[in-house]
Amino acid sequence: MIIQLEKGLSEGNKQSIIDKVEALKYKTTEVKTQKGEYIIGIGKKDFDIREIGHMKGISDIHIVSDANMLVSRKWKVKPTVIDLGDGVTIEEGGMALMAGPCSIEGEEQIEKTIAHLKENNIKIMRGGVYKPRSSPYSFRGLGNDGLKTWYKLAREAGIKIITEVMQVSQIEEMYDYVDIYQVGARNTQNFNLLDELGKVDKPVLIKRGISGTIEELLGSAEYVFSAGNENLMLCERGIRTYERASRNTMDINAIAILKEKSHLPVIADPSHGIGIRDHVEPVALACVMAGADGVIYETHEVPEEAWSDGQQTLSFRESEKLIKKLRKTFELRESF
């Protein structure tokens, strides 16, 4: 069960609620986030909800059968809205676009990318300053110095930043320079990292693991939520299957299922989902029709010269074409 507590509830009244729940043989956990305070009850005994619902200090009570209760759509009437400030939001019924290079390479590249985004009215720039690479000899990012340069230029242009955090020690040093922390596919079940991201007050986008199930992705989000941060987004970025014709297999099914199961915004990453530049556009459009609340993809002025992932990165010309088609597809979806 999920018990929503009233704001300003005294410790005495809260303890009375906890005692009542535990008397029903339910194990309790307190969760306090930026937006509210909850008591989570885990147990199997059936009971009349009125036994608890009338108690002083309870705003609402929900019986949720899902294992990942806090991120479940079964209890939250209004879907989560991610507010980045300056009128930039990510939410159900919207189409948030996030674009940029795989890796931040330097000031000139940042400036050219920002110019491309501004020309196409995109408010969020993606890019990596810490890069988890399969080979230790590949470029692994410019680190926090690169992030500071990027942040300065992006702020001057009114652009928000999403970038990947790889370990707990990076959270604090990155904090002043990011708008959204991204948890990459390799860290989706790094529970120490998820716990610590639950303690920050900035949004977190969690990518699905390379071979992760939908329930495991929801479980990762539950970790962050239960640690105190409910400004979360889920990202389908393709999974590893037996198919070798593409980098990954984009699980478009997952977008529709995640939308049904969770109140969190669902973002699609077609660049990693298929890993082939020529096919990023049709996959991205399919994701929009499947119900995605946003698309994050890779773009570079000259993809062939990109320091990483050039094979799946769109040129600025291709990116501009995709943006126009994404917006038209979104309008078509919303007209149904």
Of 247, 249, 229, 231, which Cα lies nearest the Cα of 239? 249
Q: Return the CATH number at 191.
A: 3.20.20.70
310, pLDDT greater than 60: yes
Q: What percentage of the chain has pLDDT greater than the value 90?
A: 89
Lowest average pLDDT, out of 7-11, 193-197, 209-213, goes to 7-11
Q: Whole-angstrom Cα distance, residue 155 to residue 123? A: 11
Between the alpha carbon of residue 24 and those of residues 19, 46, 87, 262, the distances in Å are 9, 9, 45, 28
Taking only the tens place, the pLDDT of each residue in 41-58 is 999 878 888 888 889 999
Together in a domain, 114 and 197: yes
What does pTM read for this prediction? 0.94
pLDDT at 332: 96
Residues 106 and 26 in one domain: no
Residues 51 and 133 in one domain: no
The residues, any chain, with a CB within 8 Å of residue 292's CB and separated by 6 or more, are 236, 255, 266, 267, 268
**Across all residues in the chain, what is the average pLDDT?**
95
Residue 132: pLDDT over 70: no
> What is the reported pLDDT for 48?
84
pLDDT band at 136 (very low <50, low <70, confident <90, very high): low
Q: What is the pLDDT of residue 221?
A: 98
Q: How far apart are CA 201 and CA 176, in angstroms?
A: 11
Task: State the Cα–Cα distance between residues 274 and 276, nearest whole angstrom.
Answer: 6
Burial class from Cβ neighbours inside 10 Å (0-12, 13-18, 19+) for residue 203 reads buried
pLDDT of residue 65: 86
The answer on pLDDT for 141 being more than 80 is no
| Separation between Cα atoms, residue 235 and residue 217, nearest integer Å | 9
Could you tell me if 13 and 111 lie in one domain? no
268 versus 65: which is more confidently predicted?
Answer: 268
**Residue 28, strand partner residues:** 41
Whether 74 is in a domain gets the answer no
Q: What is the mean pLDDT of residues 55-76?
A: 93
Mean pLDDT, range 267-287, rounded to an integer: 98
Q: Is residue 177 domain-resident? A: yes
304 and 177 in one domain?
A: yes
Q: Percent of the chain beyond pLDDT 70? A: 97
Number of structural domains, the chain? 2
304 three-class SS: helix
For residue 107, being part of any structural domain is answered with yes
Query: Is residue 103 domain-shared with residue 231, that is, in the same domain?
Result: yes
Tokens matching residue 156: 């001057």
Look at residue 75 and tell me if it is in a domain: no
Q: Quick check: is 174 in a domain? A: yes
Same-domain pairing of 167 and 267: yes
- What residue numbers bound the domain in which 12 lies? 2-62
Mean pLDDT over 295-306 rounds to 97
Cα angle 79, 165, 38 (rounded to 5 degrees) comes to 40
Answer yes or no: do 86 and 114 share one domain: yes
Domain assignment present for 73: no
Residue 46, pLDDT score: 82
Q: Are residues 140 and 27 in the same domain?
A: no
**Whether residue 95 sits in one domain with residue 233:** yes
pLDDT, position 137: 55
pLDDT at 196: 98
For residues 231 and 82, is the Cβ–Cβ distance under 8 A?
yes
Residue 314 CB contacts under 8 Å (≥ 6 apart), including other chains? 271, 277, 280, 281, 297, 298, 299, 300, 303, 322
Q: How far apart are CA 309 and CA 35, in angstroms?
A: 38
C-alpha span between 294 and 28 (Å, rounded)? 35
- The string of DSSP codes covering 217-249 is HHHHHHHHHHTT---EEEEE--B--S--SSSSB
Q: Residue 58's beta-bridge partner residues?
A: 5
In terms of domains, do 178 and 33 share one? no
Amino acid occupying residue 182: Q
Whether the per-residue pLDDT at 134 is higher than 70: the answer is no
User: pLDDT confidence of 4, banded at 50, 70, 90?
Assistant: very high
**Residue 72 covered by a domain:** no
- State residue 47's pLDDT score: 84
**Band (140; pLDDT cuts 50, 70, 90):** low
What mean pLDDT do residues 297-325 have? 97
Assess if residue 57 is contained within a domain.
yes
Domain match, 16 and 123 both:
no
Domain at 46, CATH number: 3.30.70.1140
DSSP string, 38-57: EEEEE------THHHHTSTT
